[in-house]
A and B are shown apart, each in its own frame.
Chain A
Amino acid sequence: MNENLIKPPVEIRYADELSALRESDTGKKPENWVLSPKAVRTFILGGKVKTKDGTVEISKKFYGNDALVERCIITLAGNRGLMLVGEPGTAKTMLSELLSAGCCGTSTVTVQGTAGTTEDMIKYSWNYALLLSKGPCREALVPSPLLIGMEKGVFARFEEITRTPAEIQDSLISVMSDQILNIPELGDDGIVFARPGFNIIGTANTRDKGVNEMSGALKRRFNFETVEPVKDVRLEKEIIIREAKNLAKVGHIDMPIDEDSAEILAVTYHELREGITAEGTMVEKPSAVMSTAEAVSVFYQTISHAWYYGDGKTDLSVMTENLLGAVCKESMDDLQKLKLYFNTAVKQKSKKAGGKIWQEYLKASKILK
């Protein structure tokens, strides 16, 4: 199954690890959780577990802030929802998938918040053919992911919650405070009680702040965790390489990954995001999102280009073109900022000892016009 999916869900992608963790897990579990909080921690932050077949290495899947992951796990074991906020591309969705898969064994009970999300999509809707023929009954009810989560006692994930209008968001309040969903059409059978293990993980993008501000009442029902961009360039490079390898594998691209190019890209993204270079030169931050996820995307595009059109080697001019496309999305001012970055920071690095690859990168910047 894994081989045939573009993006298999976490519980399938890491089925072996989850199975090993389940086998070795001796910790106390909150009701309906498939793993104990300690095992969920190991699932996300990595480690080793002993099974009857030997020691199994659990890969580290989330980098940068281990304490945040611990707080998330404990929050989900309590009676408050978890809201992950942060810049785009900081792996909020990935973390929520990992938490859902680790705690409940499924990460697919998901509501995608958009400007067009309605209350039906959050609570329930009807199969109108059945509704007309049989009247309001359970058979005719189409449960939303939230309702499924309540009935099964698993986490419901609400992606991009602040893209949803505030009054729609507020329909979560009664569910979260009373753990009940009322379906008046079903009469006496219309009260659905949440089973233990149910909780909500929301994600919200800080760039959407103010679009649909959450009400105070809803905020009170969540614990908030801010997921920050990766602060360590070396770590960012590792993530770029690892994710690009995964994507290449799925895309059947079989070529070696050029680590130097990945490093250059990681440094570029890091410095443009922070507004300062390793040498202490101030650079202007582009208005575009300079996330690690964007860097992975740029790098994967570069690899794809090399695989399909090139000689299997990463071309820095192609990478610069892809970078240009990724950075200059929202404002043409970002082009100037990118050019300035090349003219100051990249030039400075190219003059240093061992700056040969930076010289090539600088040459590649000629396409920025």
Chain B
Amino acid sequence: MARVSESVKNSEVSEVQEKSVPFDLDSGVLLFPVRHHSPVCSYQLIKTIELYKPEIILIEGPENANSIIPALTHPDTVLPVAFYYFYKDTGKLVSEEAEDYKCYYPFIYSSPEYNAVKEAEKLGIPAKFIDLPYCDILINTSENSGLRKKADRHSYADDSHIVGGKFHSAVCEKTGVRNFDEFWEKYFEIAGLELSPEEFVHRMHTYCIITREMTSSEELIADGTVAREDFMASNIKKFSEEYKKILVVTGGFHSYGIYERLSRKKLKAPRTHKIPEKKQGCYPMAYSYPSADALRGYASGMNFPYFCDCITKSLQNGTEPCEVYNEQSLDFLVRTAKRSSKKNIPVSTADVISAKSLMTGLSALRNCRQCGTFELFDGVTSAFIKGEKTVSSSIPLDILAGLASGDGAGKIGDKSHIPPLVADFENLCTKYKLKYQSASEEIVEIPLFTKPKSTELSRFMHRMDFLGTAFGRMTKGPDLHRNTDRNRVREEWKYRRSPQVDSALIDHTTDGFTIEEACREHAGKILTEKRRCEDASYIAVECFLMGIPLSDEQKILIDRITAEDGDFFSVGRGLKQFEMLCRLKKLYQSKDSSPEKYLERCFSKLVSAIPSMANVPEEKADECSEIIRSAYSTVQDILTDWIEPFRSSLETLVSSPEKEPSVYGVCTGLLYAMDSDWREQAETAVKGYLNGSPETKKKGAGFLKGLFSSARDIVLNDDSFLNMIDSLITSLEYDDFMEILPSLRLAFSYFTPNEIQTTAEKVSKIYSSDGNILREDAVDESLFLFGESLDRKIVNILNNKYK
């Protein structure tokens, strides 16, 4: 850091300035440095193109996207658009993990790269990408570096070298600005508009060369910069044999590296790999302004992309460069005031005037030639926020941030470049009247079982979900996986087309040409990878929801997985899912008979495994009990032929010498439900716990819990059971009672409110109470709802923390 500070103090800067990249309009190759999404770079680039009159424009970008450049310049294309690159490293060229990689190269109207291809088109000259193909960039990048950093989303146009270099913090300190963005806006975006292209390029090169000096050669090798610059330089040399005037548009950080390589006599380009089309590709896709915003953490250019676009468009419409920021910031200020007023935040014209005057004053105080976004935000902060600045009073700032960031989504005009699955997605969205071009979240309500089109829409949403597109999330409706809300006849989905939708669909391109085909293929692939009955049943439920009939091959696979799975719990979970499918077949009008087959397969396995569950570990006892109860429910009305083997299986478990109390209770209860003669044995069991040691008594609560979960009427028929429970409780020490209290509470939770009332009245009679103690004031509904929401939040936090 000391070195950085020193350099800022001009000791090294002068040395660095000796290194320069010439701006010679007569030379064969002219290097133009840019920052992604920068309006001033676009503005100066267009001016440079006018002056230089190139024969070809070469742009930094993976060369395997050259074929889709027309999609970018198509008249019907609406930005933001991104090029989506993917690479499946099945050949382990990148690492032994054989991972899948993907990245985005977003374009907005202020992107210099976009303006470069657009200008080339106007001039009728070629524009080409010259960087290594995406897979080769990855191959030449070390782990956790460059495009191989661990991140949710990768941007090809990552300018972290200029933005996050060691140099920038020293520069900010020296120039008295808050952060790099303010520095950049003041000294490049605003001041740069009034410079000649030569002066501007010189300023860019100076800054970028210093940041480059601050980056070690090890870092440059690790993040792939060296390999990429070698490749780009060799490409430029190759083109220079054919063209006499070449304009090269690259990130400012690379300019000096390329320039230095071009001056070498020999240049060795890195070897590229031939990768089959299925493993590597590039597609244009609709992008959105929020996704293109560097503030979202994607390190791909500037903050507030929509503001940048407004600057660029305003310049292109003839606004004077020395006024464009003042005009646009005033425009955004007025829009913020209007939108605030719509949200009932009082913002008067006087406030707007005050904010504008403040912005002008601040830009003068800061020696900034025009009011930029920082002055705009400062003006709104001071003049629009009345009172203490808090989350609620800062709404005008949020509105401004939203406006400046933009909320629109792009569109690919040239349909021939749209990947088939994305095209199918768009067609289906149009068919179902879904607002897929909106960048904000929309809601659709789907009545199930009424119209065929509604069913189709529901299936479409489930298919999109299955493909991992995150297009929609069901907020209301039957959840068949969890077996909850099955009585609902409507689904409510919230949906939004984010870049993830397109990228996920593109990832599945190899699975099929329609979403239906892709789902079928994807389901098949999952089944071939899975070995557990519960996973197979999950896929079966998914296919059921998606309305995709299982192929014969898939049916055989599920049958085989179910037959081979030896895990009681996995089979039990599978049984519950298959049971549900059998029950819902009629409602969902499914004619597939395979669920019954899988159900029977699961059931037969469970029946033979139940006796071995007598000594199941305590932490698994609840799930085991639930599975046994599900099996009973199945045998009641679906697999009625299996009742005897099931009974015999339970009897075997009950007769085991060592038994887990709650499982023992469940089995005893079920046997009582099948044959009331078992009541006596149930009483004996309770007495056994009652007369045992203190430890045994404690286990009695677990037994009761199991018993009541399967046969609660045993308590309601006469009072003997209640008396026994009373004896159990009264004989316990206080601490022991507190220990078993949760189990007892759980045991009584199986009763209906009416049954609890009846039981409570019986208990009050035992103690000759007048019954008044039974009545408490009803819990306030709002309190109950609060408790419920609190509960949900806690569960979510715990789930997130311990998942």
B358 touching A223, Cβ below 8 Å: yes
Q: Chain A at the B interface: mostly helix, strand, loop or mixed?
A: helix
The answer to whether the Cβ of B745 comes within 8 Å of any Cβ in the partner chain is: no
Cα distance A67–B388 in the bound complex, in angstroms: 17
Q: How many chain B residues touch the partner (CB < 8 A)?
A: 24
B388 touching A223, Cβ below 8 Å: no
* One of A77-85, A328-336, A358-366 at the interface: A77-85
With A66-B176, A67-B378, A70-B378 already in contact, the answer to whether A85 and B361 are too (CB < 8 A) is no
Q: Which of B369-385 contact A (CB under 8 A)?
A: 374, 378, 381-383, 385
B361 touching A77, Cβ below 8 Å: yes
A75 touching B178, Cβ below 8 Å: no
Cα distance A22–B176 in the bound complex, in angstroms: 21
A224 touching B387, Cβ below 8 Å: yes
The answer to whether the Cβ of A209 comes within 8 Å of any Cβ in the partner chain is: yes
**Chain A residue contacts of B679, Cβ below 8 A:** none
**Chain B residue contacts of A350, Cβ below 8 A:** none
A38 touching B388, Cβ below 8 Å: no
The answer to whether the Cβ of A226 comes within 8 Å of any Cβ in the partner chain is: yes
The answer to whether the Cβ of A73 comes within 8 Å of any Cβ in the partner chain is: yes
The answer to whether the Cβ of A206 comes within 8 Å of any Cβ in the partner chain is: yes
Cα distance A38–B365 in the bound complex, in angstroms: 6
Chain A, Cβ-Cβ closest to B359: A74
**Chain A residue contacts of B346, Cβ below 8 A:** 216
The answer to whether the Cβ of A202 comes within 8 Å of any Cβ in the partner chain is: no
The answer to whether the Cβ of B362 comes within 8 Å of any Cβ in the partner chain is: yes
**Chain B residue contacts of A73, Cβ below 8 A:** 365
Q: Which of B388-408 contact A (CB under 8 A)?
A: 388-389
A206 touching B388, Cβ below 8 Å: yes
**Chain B residue contacts of A66, Cβ below 8 A:** 176, 178
B388 touching A86, Cβ below 8 Å: yes
**Chain A residue contacts of B365, Cβ below 8 A:** 37-38, 41, 70, 73-74
B388 touching A220, Cβ below 8 Å: no
Bits for B328-352, please: 1 = Cβ < 8 Å to A, else 0: 0000000000000000001010110
**Chain B residue contacts of A226, Cβ below 8 A:** 385, 388-389
Chain B, Cβ-Cβ closest to A30: B361
The answer to whether the Cβ of B765 comes within 8 Å of any Cβ in the partner chain is: no
B361 touching A223, Cβ below 8 Å: no
Chain B, Cβ-Cβ closest to A77: B361
Closest chain-B Cβ to A310's Cβ sits at a distance in Å of 39
B382 touching A219, Cβ below 8 Å: no
The answer to whether the Cβ of A225 comes within 8 Å of any Cβ in the partner chain is: yes
Closest chain-B Cβ to A207's Cβ sits at a distance in Å of 11
**Chain B residue contacts of A78, Cβ below 8 A:** 354, 357-358, 361
**Chain A residue contacts of B381, Cβ below 8 A:** 71, 225
Closest chain-B Cβ to A225's Cβ sits at a distance in Å of 6
A37 touching B361, Cβ below 8 Å: yes
A75 touching B388, Cβ below 8 Å: no
Closest chain-B Cβ to A102's Cβ sits at a distance in Å of 13
A225 touching B350, Cβ below 8 Å: no
Q: Chain B at the A interface: mostly helix, strand, loop or mixed?
A: helix
Closest chain-A Cβ to B329's Cβ sits at a distance in Å of 15
**Chain B residue contacts of A223, Cβ below 8 A:** 354, 358, 382-383
Which residue of A45, A70, A219 contacts B386 across the interface (Cβ within 8 Å)? A219
**Chain A residue contacts of B366, Cβ below 8 A:** 70
Chain A interface residue bracket vs B: 20 to 34
Cα distance A223–B354 in the bound complex, in angstroms: 9
Chain B, Cβ-Cβ closest to A28: B364
Cα distance A115–B176 in the bound complex, in angstroms: 42
Closest chain-B Cβ to A289's Cβ sits at a distance in Å of 15
Cα distance A77–B364 in the bound complex, in angstroms: 12
Chain A, Cβ-Cβ closest to B394: A226
Chain A, Cβ-Cβ closest to B383: A223
Closest chain-B Cβ to A1's Cβ sits at a distance in Å of 32
Closest chain-B Cβ to A81's Cβ sits at a distance in Å of 11
**Chain B residue contacts of A206, Cβ below 8 A:** 388
With A206-B388, A209-B388 already in contact, the answer to whether A71 and B378 are too (CB < 8 A) is yes
Q: Which of A154-209 contact B (CB under 8 A)?
A: 206, 209
B358 touching A71, Cβ below 8 Å: yes
With A66-B176, A66-B178 already in contact, the answer to whether A224 and B361 are too (CB < 8 A) is no
Q: Which of A85-110 contact B (CB under 8 A)?
A: 85-86
A224 touching B386, Cβ below 8 Å: yes
**Chain A residue contacts of B364, Cβ below 8 A:** 37
Q: Which of B346, B348, B354 has the most CB of A within 10 A?
A: B354
Cα distance A85–B382 in the bound complex, in angstroms: 12
Cα distance A41–B176 in the bound complex, in angstroms: 11
**Chain A residue contacts of B176, Cβ below 8 A:** 45, 66
Bits for B189-219, please: 1 = Cβ < 8 Å to A, else 0: 0000000000000000000000000000000
Cα distance A347–B366 in the bound complex, in angstroms: 47
Closest chain-A Cβ to B173's Cβ sits at a distance in Å of 11
Cα distance A219–B347 in the bound complex, in angstroms: 12
Cα distance A80–B178 in the bound complex, in angstroms: 25
Q: Which of B248-304 contact A (CB under 8 A)?
A: none
B388 touching A85, Cβ below 8 Å: yes
Cα distance A37–B362 in the bound complex, in angstroms: 10
**Chain B residue contacts of A214, Cβ below 8 A:** 387
B361 touching A74, Cβ below 8 Å: yes
With A223-B354, A224-B388 already in contact, the answer to whether A67 and B178 are too (CB < 8 A) is yes
B354 touching A80, Cβ below 8 Å: yes
Cα distance A80–B355 in the bound complex, in angstroms: 11
Q: Which of A12-41 contact B (CB under 8 A)?
A: 37-38, 41
B387 touching A219, Cβ below 8 Å: yes
**Chain A residue contacts of B178, Cβ below 8 A:** 66-67
Chain B, Cβ-Cβ closest to A219: B386
**Chain B residue contacts of A71, Cβ below 8 A:** 358, 362, 378, 381-382
A224 touching B378, Cβ below 8 Å: no
B389 touching A70, Cβ below 8 Å: no
With A220-B350, A226-B389 already in contact, the answer to whether A75 and B378 are too (CB < 8 A) is no
Chain A, Cβ-Cβ closest to B178: A67
Closest chain-A Cβ to B443's Cβ sits at a distance in Å of 36
**Chain B residue contacts of A74, Cβ below 8 A:** 357-358, 361-362, 365
Q: Which of A262-293 contact B (CB under 8 A)?
A: none
Cα distance A214–B388 in the bound complex, in angstroms: 12
**Chain A residue contacts of B350, Cβ below 8 A:** 220
**Chain B residue contacts of A85, Cβ below 8 A:** 387-388
Closest chain-A Cβ to B341's Cβ sits at a distance in Å of 14
Bits for A283-308, please: 1 = Cβ < 8 Å to B, else 0: 00000000000000000000000000
**Chain B residue contacts of A41, Cβ below 8 A:** 365
Cα distance A146–B507 in the bound complex, in angstroms: 70
With A224-B387, A224-B388, A226-B388 already in contact, the answer to whether A70 and B362 are too (CB < 8 A) is yes
Chain B, Cβ-Cβ closest to A78: B357
Q: Which of B8-64 contact A (CB under 8 A)?
A: none
**Chain B residue contacts of A38, Cβ below 8 A:** 365
Closest chain-A Cβ to B667's Cβ sits at a distance in Å of 45
**Chain A residue contacts of B354, Cβ below 8 A:** 78-80, 223
Cα distance A339–B357 in the bound complex, in angstroms: 51
Cα distance A220–B352 in the bound complex, in angstroms: 12
Cα distance A302–B178 in the bound complex, in angstroms: 36
Closest chain-B Cβ to A73's Cβ sits at a distance in Å of 7
Q: Which of B350, B361, B388 has the most CB of A within 10 A?
A: B388
**Chain B residue contacts of A67, Cβ below 8 A:** 178, 374, 378
A-B contact pairs, 7 of them (CB 8 A): A67-B178, A74-B361, A77-B361, A78-B354, A78-B358, A224-B389, A226-B389
Instruction: Tell me the B residues contacting A by CB distance below 8 Å.
Output: 176, 178, 346, 348, 350-351, 354, 357-358, 361-362, 364-366, 374, 378, 381-383, 385-389
| Shortest 8 CB-CB contacts between residues of A and residues of B | A74-B361, A226-B389, A223-B382, A219-B386, A85-B388, A71-B382, A37-B365, A206-B388
A-B contact sample (19 more), CB < 8 A, given A209-B387, A209-B388: A45-B176, A66-B176, A66-B178, A70-B365, A71-B358, A73-B365, A74-B358, A75-B358, A77-B361, A78-B361, A85-B388, A86-B388, A220-B350, A223-B358, A224-B387, A224-B389, A225-B381, A225-B382, A226-B388
